[in-house]
Amino acid sequence: MSAPLLDVDGLTLAFDTPSGVVHVLDKVAFTLQAGETLGLVGESGSGKSVTALALAGLLDARGRVQARRLRFQDHDLLDGHGAPDAAAWQALRGRRIGFVFQSPRRALHPLRTVGDQLQQVLRVHRGLKPAVARQEALAWIDRVGLDDPARRFNAHAHELSGGQCQRVMIALALAGEPDLLIADEPTTGLDVSTQARVLDLIAGLAAERHLATILITHDLALAAQRCARIAVMHAGQLVETLPSARLRDGAAHPYTRQLLRATPQSAPTLAALRSVDGTLPDLTRDDLPACRFAERCEKADARCRRQAAPFTPVESRHTVACWHPVHAGQPSLALAA
């Protein structure tokens, strides 16, 4: 296999707050190949969005990021002390890494037109002259499926629907012709039919341009349907990565299986639907267990609380960080077909 497009190892993040230090991410590690689609899943508060912001260099300055390795193609995104290299990120963001925010209306500039914002991306990241940037901006408005491109070119965010704002956000993210697209809950607040159209649009453009894509969602069924591989997060820790084809029958981490059990597609009736046991731990604690799922897990023992489990191969491209994984042949908590 070729070298990964994105290589993340030991990504740790903490925020200093009036309530104390919040230990947001704990040694997150994964790789992403060119053209691959990875679904980053977990409950709200599991660290998905903040991981995406860290990968795009968009975190608040109060966030303290450290990593053993953080590389994008041939670019090292860390300084010599394991901290982010701001200049390296600035060179990649927008041009090589595109970002679709989960609240597009708030992410778009309220006082600038769609055309102005697109033209700026094209001039800054692709060096296009004004006349060429205008034509390319109109082409992108058409490419993302907005009708009457000339009229949308002069529109402001408040004049567009939620789905239209999201299409503009996708155009802004892709106009720089990046190699990686990070889509953070891109269908939040959209109706079901618009959600499907937006996801189809992202998938079509990604396939056309051979983009690697990270799709962040709390919807495990959606991730399984849309992504080649799934990475499961719990309380700032990555606990399992596996091909989406194995998710239905081969999930090995107790948390992944509880997420499956809590997915509507897994239960024949609402009454049969079960929630994930317990609640996420308080990340301001100084005595967090080595496995942050330990206090919610019926299999946990003293070792789980004391010693972090290494990522262990299960099958090809399937790894799990757990001292007590579910083995093949045990009853499945699978998604319905």
**pLDDT tops 60 at residue 21:** yes
pLDDT at 29: 95
pLDDT at 57: 86
pLDDT at 126: 93
**pLDDT tops 70 at residue 192:** yes
Average pLDDT over residues 247-264: 89
How far is 100 from 215, CA to CA, in rounded Å?
10
- Which residue is associated with the tokens 């597609």? 265
Q: Which residues contact 18 (CB under 8 A, 6 or more apart)?
A: none
Pick from 269, 275, 273, 265: nearest CA to 335: 265
pLDDT in tens, 287-313: 999 999 999 999 999 999 999 999 999
Average pLDDT over residues 55-79: 88
How far is 105 from 97, CA to CA, in rounded Å?
20
pLDDT at 337: 40
Angle between helices 130-143 and 114-126 in degrees, nearest 10: 120
CB 71 within 8 A of CB 153: no
Neighbours of 235 (CB within 10 A): 27
CB 325 within 8 A of CB 252: yes
192-218 in b/e burial notation, b at 16+ Cβ within 10 A?
Answer: eebbebbbebbbebbeeeebbbbbbbb
pTM: 0.91
State how beta strands 180-184 and 69-72 pair: unpaired
pLDDT at 267: 55
CA 16 to chain centre: 24
Q: Which residues contact 73 (CB under 8 A, 6 or more apart)?
A: 5, 96, 179
pLDDT at 178: 93
pLDDT at 93: 87
pLDDT at 328: 54
64-97 in b/e burial notation, b at 16+ Cβ within 10 A?
Answer: ebbbeebbbeeeebbeeeeebbeebbeebbbbbb
- Per-residue CA distances from 291 to 26, 240, 310 (Å): 10, 12, 11
pLDDT in tens, 88-115: 888 888 889 999 988 888 889 999 999 9
Neighbours of 330 (CB within 10 A): 10
- State the number of CA atoms in the 13 A half-sphere of 1 facing the CB: 10
